[in-house]
Each structure stands twice: as structure tokens, then as C-alpha cells.
Amino acid sequence: MKLLQERATMDKYRILGITSCLSSSFCSISPHFIESVKRNPSLSMIIVLNDQWNQYCNQTQERIESNIKFVCLSNQFMIQSFSNKLCGVWGCSEKEKKSVQATLSVRLNETKKELEEFKVFYPTIFEDYLEWPSFRFSHWIAMDSNSIIGDLGRWIPWMDVRRHDLVGFKSTLNPMHLSVSSSFTILKLDSKMNVLWHRIEGFQGPIEFSEERTSGAFSGGLIKALITQYKERTWVLYDKNPFVLTEELYKRMEWKVGYSKKSNGILVVPQQYNSGLMEKLHSKLDYPDYSKTTSNQIEVGFTFRCAKTEDTQASFRICIENSKEFRTKEVNEGMKIWREKAFGPIFLVGIPNLTLFQVKVGSKVIGYHKYPVFQYK
């Protein structure tokens, strides 16, 4: 019944995606990304760019093309506007505001990894651009512009979105270490969730922002703040991300992007499969059933004494304390962790791996990971 309700919802529900290319020295917008966004009827996308990127920016500050709004801003405007927005939350003195502006001036031209942490600020610094003709959004999605995005309408767990303030997908392979993927996390748009970053270490005030390096603030800091401070907020975290295939992974794994006449959409499959086999692999529409489980539900506690994780600072690490009670036994198992009531307990349960599929082709059974798949009738 839940699955049928989700299917009925997916064609009328819309969600707001936000991504950016703020640096004037590098930009990683993939043509596959633009194409895949345009083929998503459930998605409206805002792309905020440094106005130096002439291929996307012309004389106008804002323009809408299909379901994408391009917002082009000068370096000087971004520094002034972003500092005003952030200091509006922090309550900066004039001296602190100048310090924030100096930090922004440096960070807007740093590496992509440093700019990734700006995602926690998106609802605040891009507040003036969130409105969309004819639509109002309850949630937004953080996205990477170098990704190929799958069919969101058929893959987003809409029932979870309506019930929770955050729906995330784990970014680490360590099953006991909690973090969210910075390329696809769904957050509620409201006054408190929009400034959740205010509780993340390194972002509590203008001094911390100007002095501290915050690699891992989005991936680890968000979920830590929800568990330890915003206990009135509800959230759900899955440990597999079935929505996004990054351009880097696409090239490394030699996946093929093809166009299907039969389904009038984009198919992404391993390079070694021919076009006929591509059709067969994706001949059936799949609606992931997020309600399936593979183990008994247990209540979990947390610890900050985690094993070192490469991309996350120690201050953002949080791990499941009673991990010995739960172990994934096979490659086709994953997990779901959630808080469904304000100030309520946090539970964990095993679920099927959402990206792993098997298809019989002749006498042979082919197993593969299903990344983005578009199949519109």
C-alpha cells in the first residue's frame, strides 16, 4: 500500500535542487548534468554561477531555461551579499563583517572541496533566488554539477520526505560511521532547518568561520548536529545513494550513457553492454520499496570515538555505539537509520541494497549496480 501511495505521489510532487559554480577560476558543470536535469519532471533546479562563465551567463542576472534557473553573480556582489546574509544570522559587528568578507574573498577561489562546504549555507545565501514561478517547495536537494542524475520521481522515498526534516544517503563505506552524501541530501525548507549550519563546528560565528577549516562540515556536521543538538527534528539516513553517478565515476568505470527510443529517456549502463542489452536490462520500471527490511529493528546509541575517516575531521565524526548488534552479511544488504518522532529514540534496521540488481539475459544472470535510469512513458 505504501508503495502504491508513493507511485501516485511521484508525478505531482516537485522538489528544488540547488547547485553552484562560485569560483571564477574553475567550473565543473557537466553537459550530462544539464541534460539529466531537463529530463526530470519532478525537479526544479537553481544553478548559481560566477558571472565569468560566459557559456551560461549573458547580460541578465537571472534566466529560466526549461526547469533550470541560472543565476549569475559577480565576485564582488557575492562577497557583499553572502556576508550580509551570514551576518544577519550571526549578528556581526562591523569588524567581524569585514573579516567574513575577507574570508569569502579567499574561499570563493579555493578548491572545489573547500567550496563543497558552502552547501550548508545554500538556503541562507541564496535566499533571494529560491522562489519559482507557479511552484512552492517544501524541501531542497544539495547537488553536484558534475553528476548525472537519475529519475528522481521514481527513486526519491516521497513518504520519508513528507515525514522527515532530512532524508540522507551515507557518503562513507564504513557502515557504522554516520555522514550524509554532499551530492544528494534532501532538507526541509523552513526557518530553523535553513540555519542548521549555525550549530555546526566552524560555522557557529564569524570568528570561527574566518579562522577554522571545515572539511567535512556538510557530510558529517549536518547529521551530528541533528543527533546531538536538534533533537526535535526528524530524519532518515540510508547507506546507499542510488540517485547520482558522478562524472568521475562514470569515466573511471566506463559506463555508457545511451538514449532509448522505447522509453524516450537516458539509460546509464556498463560500457561492455551493447544497446540491445541496455534495453533488456532496463525493460522494466523499478520502484524501490524502501519499506523492505532484512533484519530486526534495534534502538541505537552513538559515540564520538570513531576510527579515522579520510574526508571527515575528528570533530564531525559520529558512530553507532552498539554496532556489534548489527552486521551486514552480504553485498545486497544495506541499512536504514532514523528518528521518526521529535526527541524520540533512533532506530536501525537492515534493508536490501537499493542499487544492486540481477537480470536474466538468455541463460545468463547478469548482476549490476543500477545508477541513474530514466524511463519515461
**Paired residues of 16 in beta bridges:** 44, 140
How far does Cα 353 stand from its chain's mean position?
18
The answer to whether the Cα torsion of 249, 250, 254, 260 is positive or negative is: positive
Cβ contact 203:195 at 8 Å: no
pTM of the model: 0.85
pLDDT value at position 10?
44
Per-residue pLDDT of the chain (377 residues; tens, 9 = 90+): 454 454 444 445 689 999 998 887 777 787 878 888 887 878 899 999 999 888 888 778 899 999 999 999 999 999 999 999 999 999 999 999 999 999 999 888 776 666 777 898 999 999 999 988 888 899 999 888 877 777 777 778 888 999 999 999 876 667 678 888 877 899 999 999 999 999 888 899 999 998 876 667 888 888 889 999 999 999 999 876 666 566 666 676 666 666 655 555 556 666 666 667 666 666 655 667 888 888 889 999 888 877 665 556 677 888 888 766 665 555 567 889 999 999 999 999 988 877 676 667 677 776 666 554 444 33
Cβ contact 268:256 at 8 Å: yes
List the grid coordinates of 376.
Answer: 519515461
pLDDT value at position 374?
45
% helix / strand / coil in the chain, to the nearest 5?
A: 30, 25, 45
- Sequence-ordered alpha helix ranges (H) in 43-188: 75-90, 94-107, 112-116, 122-125, 152-155, 158-163
Amino acid identity of 16? L
Amino acid identity of 71? V
pLDDT value at position 213?
65
pLDDT value at position 4?
45
Q: Which of 242, 237, 218, 201 is nearest to 340 (CA)?
A: 237
Tally Cβ neighbours within 10 Å of residue 60: 9
pLDDT value at position 41?
78
Q: How far apart are CA 371 and CA 259, in angstroms?
A: 15
Contacts of 190 (CB under 8 A, 6+ apart): none
Phi, psi (degrees; rounded to nearest 5) at 78: -60, -45
User: Left if phi > 0, otherwise alpha if psi is -120 to 50, otherwise beta: which for 93?
Assistant: beta
List the grid coordinates of 317.
Answer: 565524526
Three-state DSSP class for 46?
strand
Element spanning 362, H or E: none
pLDDT value at position 182?
77
Residue corresponding to grid cell 529514540: 345
DSSP state of 173: S
Contacts of 7 (CB under 8 A, 6+ apart): 287
Three-state DSSP class for 41?
coil
Q: How far apart are CA 176 and CA 102, in angstroms?
A: 38
Residue corresponding to grid cell 531555461: 65
List the grid coordinates of 200.
Answer: 555546526
Q: How far apart are CA 313 and CA 222, in angstroms?
A: 13
CA distances to 1, 349, 354 from 289, in Å: 11, 14, 9
Write down how long the chain is. 377
Q: How far apart are CA 145 and CA 176, in angstroms?
A: 29
Burial profile 125-143: b = 16 or more Cβ within 10 angstroms, e = fewer: bbeebbebeeeebebbbbb
